[in-house]
């Protein structure tokens, strides 16, 4: 009888604790996803800046493209975070 009560008590606690563990796992997974997306955006931005630096020679067009890349990376970050969160 005592073994049965102990097993029921343990299963009751496991049922209550498992959602908490799932929430922590979800938060950890979400942080990993945000880090991967941040590095991806930085990689894309630096690659496009290199292309603009190599192939655009006029100063005003160069500055326009760099400004556009910064705005694009901010907007892309906003959309990804909105989609993720």
Domain positions in the chain are 2-84
Q: Which residues of the chain fall short of a pLDDT of 50?
A: none
pTM of the model: 0.62
**DSSP letter, residue 56:** -
53-73: pLDDT as tens digits:
999 999 999 999 999 999 998
How far apart, in Å, are the Cα atoms of 74 and each of 26, 41, 70? 25, 9, 6
Strands (E), the chain: none
Q: Is the dihedral of CA 17, 18, 23, 29 positive or negative?
A: positive
List the Cα angle 24/35/22 in 5-degree steps. Answer: 15
């Amino acid at each position: 009888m005592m073994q049965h009560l102990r097993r029921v008590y343990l299963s009751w606690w496991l049922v209550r604790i498992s959602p908490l563990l799932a929430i922590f796992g979800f938060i950890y997974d979400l942080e990993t996803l945000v880090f991967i997306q941040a590095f991806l955006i930085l990689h894309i931005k630096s690659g496009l800046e290199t292309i603009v630096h190599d192939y655009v020679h006029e100063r005003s067009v160069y500055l326009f493209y760099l400004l556009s890349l910064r705005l694009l990376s901010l907007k892309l970050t906003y959309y990804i975070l909105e989609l993720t969160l």
